Amino acid sequence: MKEYENLDELDQSILHILSLYEHLNLLRLWYEIGEVGTFGPVRKQEILDRLSSLVNKGLVKCIDLGNGEMRWALIKKPE
């Protein structure tokens, strides 16, 4: 995860969680972050904002499954 060292802890946690799954919806990702428990209460909107930022950095992609269902996936798994 060397290339992710310049990201803050929450962004790194999001990337780590996504690396464990093929893809996750926002609710499941929010739940997984809550399970980590080190960030206190995190709003879904904050996670969505973080995901958008990670998309802009080319680290995460949004998968549109249709009918308004979106999933998030890591573009490149860490070596």
The pLDDT of residue 72 is 96
CB neighbour list of residue 8: distance below 8 Å, 6 or more residues apart: none
Distance of CA 32 to the CA centre of its chain: 10
**Tokens representing residue 72 in the block:** 């998030």
pLDDT digits (tens, 9 = 90+) for 15-62: 999 999 989 999 999 999 887 767 778 888 999 999 999 999 999 999
- pLDDT for 14 equals 94
Q: Which domains does the chain have, with CATH numbers?
A: 2-74 (1.10.10.10)
> pLDDT at position 15, please?
94
Tokens of 14: 């999001």
Q: Which tens digit of pLDDT belongs to each residue from 2-27?
A: 566 688 999 999 999 999 998 999 99
pLDDT at 60: 96
